[in-house]
Each structure stands twice: as structure tokens, then as C-alpha cells.
């Protein structure tokens, strides 16, 4: 039994990263976590590449003050634009989140899939490269969804707004598509609404469990996994309002969450 209690650092622009955190907690329950939601700067999907890189560097520096052993970028947008910068600059293992195009292309029978994500992710070179590398011979329809993350940030209080946006964006998913990739970590919290809006059987695929599996193998390979039986602790920080974060996060995770304010 190994007792490496150094935490895993994880960040997103907001509460979306919790969809990755919950998978990590499931697959690596003994680990400690430091989660940062950069809510002072949400939405990342409308930031420039330079802004995204600057924010990612500042957040990583903050998380390193907690002596993290692994950094998980629980944000597709930040991964697409800043993972190389972080890897060049910081000497620790980094796992990023990208839209699950590779498994989608493998599983698709109709050879047509759609990807929804933030405007920045959808227009990124990183996504183009992912498609060129892993989805040869598959039609991939890219749909940028401005404002959708905000319906999750506000705790889905205004469900009607989420439905209006989803009906608008999902009308562009071709009838022939048999898989929809959720290319933003906020969207898994909208799964039921997405299914209802599509109104037909289509498989939804997100990156959560794959990111947790990858993180686990990185920790095991570097001999830093914490395999003790007892549940680890998670500390939550936000650059926005801790009260607001705590209330939305408690609702999304279905358990009480307390948060502190962080300045990055």
C-alpha cells in the first residue's frame, strides 16, 4: 500500500471541471485533490489564445503552491490552447482534456459524428489535428456553442434558456450522426437535456472516464499513486464567489461542498 499524499491539481474555467473531478474521485478515491475554478474569467471559450495561456500559467503556479504531483486540465479549451505552454514551462506530469473524437470515430457505424464545444475549442487547430489523426474517413461536424457553459455555471436555474440554446445548436447535428461528442467539460451536466433536445437515440460521449484512467496510469507509472483505502480530501477554490461556487457545486455533485477564494 502506497501513501503518497501529495494532491492532484485540477482546474477549469468554472464548475465544468467537476465532471472530470467526479470521475477522478471514482477511479482514484484515495487521492487528495485541489480543484480550482477560474470563475473570475469564465467563459474561456471566448478568450484569445494569449489570454488562455496567461491564465493557465497563473493557475498552475497557484496549484503548485500546494505541492501537486499531477496537473489535470479539466477544460478542453485550456488544453487546446495552453497545454504545450504548460508542458514547456513546468516540470510535472500534465494530463489534458480533449474532445473524445478518437473513440467516437472508432465506434461510429454511420461514419458521421458531431462534436459540440466552446467556440474556441471548435475552431482550434488542436481539434483539426485530432480529427485528421484519429477520424480519417469519418465525417465530423463541428458545432461551437456560445453561452451553453453559462447555463451550467448558474446551476441550471434557468432550464428554459439551456433548452433554447440546445434546440438551436443541436438542430445542426446531422440525422446520420450516431454519436455526439461532448467537447466541453460543462456539458455532461446537461446530458438529460441534450438527449431530450435531440429526441432520438444517439450515443453521447464525454472524456471524463478516459481522463481519470489516463491520470491513474500516469501516477502508477511514476510511482506516485496513493492506493490507501481511505477516501482522500478535496479542497475547492474559486477566483469568483466561494458562496456561489459552493451552492452550484453542491447541486451538481449532489453532496455538500465548501470553497475558498483564490487570487491567481
Residues near ligand DGL (CB under 6 A) are 12-14, 16, 42-45, 75-77, 118, 121, 149, 184-186
Exactly one of 80, 122, 184, 210 is catalytic; name it. Answer: 184
Which triple of cell numbers denotes residue 200?
432520438
**Residue 145: active-site member:** no
**Among residues 12 and 178, whose Cβ is nearest to ligand DGL?**
12
What is the number of alpha carbons within 13 Å of residue 195 lying toward its C-beta? 8
Task: Using the Cα atoms of residue 11, residue 12, residue 17 and residue 18 in order, give the sign of their dihedral.
Answer: positive
CB of 3 to ligand DGL, least distance (A): 32
CB of 59 to ligand DGL, least distance (A): 13
CB of 98 to ligand DGL, least distance (A): 9
**Residue 80: active-site member:** no
**Among residues 151 and 234, whose Cβ is nearest to ligand DGL?**
151
Rounded Cα distance between 148 and 158, Å, is: 12
CB of 193 to ligand DGL, least distance (A): 16
**Among residues 190 and 218, whose Cβ is nearest to ligand DGL?**
190
**Among residues 67 and 158, whose Cβ is nearest to ligand DGL?**
158
Q: Give how far Cα 29 sits from Cα of 1, 60, 227, Å.
A: 14, 23, 8
Residue spans of alpha helices (H) in the chain: 18-27, 49-64, 76-89, 101-107, 119-122, 125-134, 148-153, 159-170, 191-198, 208-221, 242-253
The residues assigned a catalytic role are 75, 184
Amino acid at each position: 500500500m502506497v501513501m503518497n499524499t501529495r494532491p492532484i491539481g485540477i482546474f477549469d474555467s468554472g464548475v465544468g471541471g467537476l465532471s472530470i473531478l467526479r470521475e477522478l474521485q471514482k477511479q482514484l478515491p484515495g487521492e487528495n485533490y485541489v480543484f480550482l475554478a477560474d470563475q473570475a474569467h469564465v467563459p474561456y471559450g471566448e478568450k484569445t489564445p494569449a489570454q488562455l495561456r496567461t491564465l493557465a500559467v497563473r493557475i498552475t503556479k497557484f496549484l503548485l503552491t500546494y505541492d501537486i504531483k499531477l496537473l489535470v486540465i479539466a477544460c478542453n479549451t485550456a488544453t487546446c490552447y495552453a497545454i504545450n505552454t504548460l508542458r514547456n514551462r513546468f516540470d510535472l506530469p500534465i494530463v489534458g482534456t480533449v474532445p473524445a473524437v478518437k473513440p467516437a470515430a472508432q465506434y461510429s457505424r454511420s461514419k458521421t459524428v458531431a462534436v459540440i464545444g466552446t467556440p474556441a475549442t471548435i475552431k482550434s487547430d488542436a481539434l483539426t489535428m485530432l480529427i485528421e489523426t484519429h477520424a480519417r474517413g469519418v465525417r465530423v461536424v463541428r458545432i461551437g456553442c456560445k453561452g451553453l457553459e453559462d447555463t451550467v455555471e448558474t446551476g441550471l436555474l434557468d432550464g428554459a434558456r439551456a433548452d433554447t440554446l440546445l434546440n438551436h445548436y443541436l438542430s445542426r447535428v446531422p440525422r446520420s450522426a450516431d454519436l455526439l461528442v461532448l467537447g466541453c467539460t460543462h456539458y455532461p451536466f446537461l446530458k438529460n437535456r441534450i438527449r431530450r433536445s435531440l429526441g432520438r437515440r444517439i450515443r453521447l460521449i464525454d472524456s471524463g472516464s478516459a481522463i481519470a484512467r489516463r491520470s491513474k496510469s500516469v501516477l502508477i507509472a511514476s510511482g506516485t499513486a496513493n492506493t490507501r483505502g481511505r477516501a482522500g480530501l478535496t479542497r475547492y477554490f474559486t477566483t469568483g464567489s466561494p458562496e456561489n461556487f459552493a451552492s452550484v457545486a453542491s447541486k451538481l455533485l449532489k453532496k455538500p461542498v465548501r470553497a475558498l477564494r483564490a487570487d491567481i
